[in-house]
Structure 1
């Protein structure tokens, strides 16, 4: 009898411990705007349905910098974008390799970087611009200045070094649709306006020749020629920017 009571006590204690671990590895969240509820953490995966603004979910894990694993009020489990535009955490106690407790401060910093970059809209382009100048920019000096002004971060001087810097920071993606607002984008040389002009190119070995800041919604903030009018915003989808894209990721 004593052994049975002891076993029951241990079982109860284990149950409490498991419940505590489960609670410690989850967080309640609210959907901020309509977002795809997918079966895998990828924009290429199946969409089960859409979660609407105001819906409550439980965040089970932050899979990486781009995705949360969540459970809905109907007890369905799937994946949603971790972009603050779509989801807001009620607390910051989420399991997994990433620690979204830094999301709010990171998002604020990113917005400062973008605001700083947008303050230079229309600033003329000059190849090889002086890195300390704000009168003219080339692509990498512009990105460098935006992060310096907005986040106090001094990125390397040229786009290739900036690409290496971002890769060392952590997760990158070769699919621009997976990027988050404020991520730095890297591109190869211009070959033409059609997708076919880039067929057969091994992009993993291509040289970075251009960089910009992803704004979300398929837009990039950058500068690339005198004729283009200097610092500007361009759409990516269906343009040579999409075909030239190599990878992108966070510099913060």
Structure 2
């Protein structure tokens, strides 16, 4: 009788013991999902310059593998293909998204902690330390001996907050637009915003009158400092990285749009 009682007592213990065996982390984690709101590029990397795999269509559902940073999700599309898409609510609605990988300080795709205003100050401070650095068109992205305009902007964000922007001005412009932050009046910009300009046609305002700016190509980029000033670099003769006033100058007439990259 004692043996029977002991056996019966062990059965539930074994059963409950099996139930409490931890499941693999992957199986126990909640699945994050998303639905595409409007057509968006599925890219091979978390960068607007990365090759496009295909367009995801409105209504298509995706599985969110991870949130790389505040600007990119790594996802698996309905056809099984994996890639990266913008986190902007303009393109996707989500549920179950967890802490981004950017919380890892060793992740170069993320950005440092702190409020937006703190990050802006870090970017501006990082940019100003390069004042006077010589200009070189097509400068190497592997050193800080010389800069062209987009290389300088990229380095300021990389040094300041660890954010790796696209390496060219047009890619940087597309990135700002993908976040839904573009403004066409420079007076609406905040310190730290990027400014994008069309090609130079002269110093007079009349040289730019009648120009359809929506069809113009980005030719230059700089960092807005506030108070009508831009931090940038644009020619060898200008002395390299410098600060210029915008209002009533060709910089104002050439301005296409600007906005935050943070």
Is TM more than 0.5 here?
yes
Of 207-216 and 195-204, more deviation after overlay is shown by 195-204
**Please, which runs of 5 or more residues in structure 2 have no aligned partner?**
1-113
- C-alpha deviation, 1:151, in angstroms: 1.1
Q: Does 1:145 align with 2:141?
A: no
- Quote the Cα distance in structure 1 between the aligned partners of 2:192 and 2:181: 14
2:231 maps to 221
Aligned to 1:107: 117
Looking at structure 2, the residues matched to 145 and 136 of structure 1 have their Cα atoms a distance apart, in angstroms, of: 11
| Deviating 4+ runs (over 3 angstroms) | none
Question: In the alignment, which residue of structure 1 is the partner of 2:198?
Answer: 188
Partner of 2:260: 250
- Rounded to whole Å, the distance in 2 between the matches of 1:132 and 1:153 is 16
Query: Deviation of residue 171 (structure 1)?
Result: 2.0
2:245 maps to 1:235: yes
Distance 2:129 2:254 in 1: 26
Q: Which residue of 2 aligns with 1:50?
A: none
RMSD, matched Cα: 0.7
Distance in structure 1 (CA, Å) of the matches to 2:181 and 2:229: 20
| Structure 1 match to 2:182 | 172
Determine the structure 1 residue equivalent to 2:131. Answer: 121
Q: Secondary structure at the match of 2:115?
A: helix
Q: State the shift of 1:147 in Å.
A: 0.3
* Corresponding residue SS for 1:186: strand
Say which of 136, 145, 165 aligns to 1:135.
Answer: 145
Cα drift, residue 172 of structure 1: 1.3
Shift of 1:238: 0.6
CA–CA separation in structure 2 for the residues paired with 1:155 and 1:131 = 12
**Between Structure 1 and Structure 2, whose CA radius of gyration is higher?**
2
CA distance in 1, matches of 2:226, 2:142: 28
Distance across 2 between alignment mates of 1:177 and 1:245: 11
Decide which of 159, 171, 184 is 1:161's aligned counterpart.
171
Cα distance in 1, alignment partners of residues 247 and 185 from structure 2: 11
Q: In the comparison of the two structures, how many residue pairs are matched?
A: 149
C-alpha distance in 2 between matches for 1:147 and 1:108: 13
Aligned to 2:220: 210
Tell me the alpha carbon deviations over residues 181-203 of structure 1, each in whole angstroms, 9 at most, x when there is no partner.
00000000000101100011110
Structure 1: segments with no counterpart, 5+ residues: 1-103
Find the residue that maps to 1:107 and give its secondary structure.
Answer: helix
How far did 1:236 drift? 0.1
Aligned residue number for residue 109 of structure 2: none
Q: Which residue of 1 aligns with 2:34?
A: none
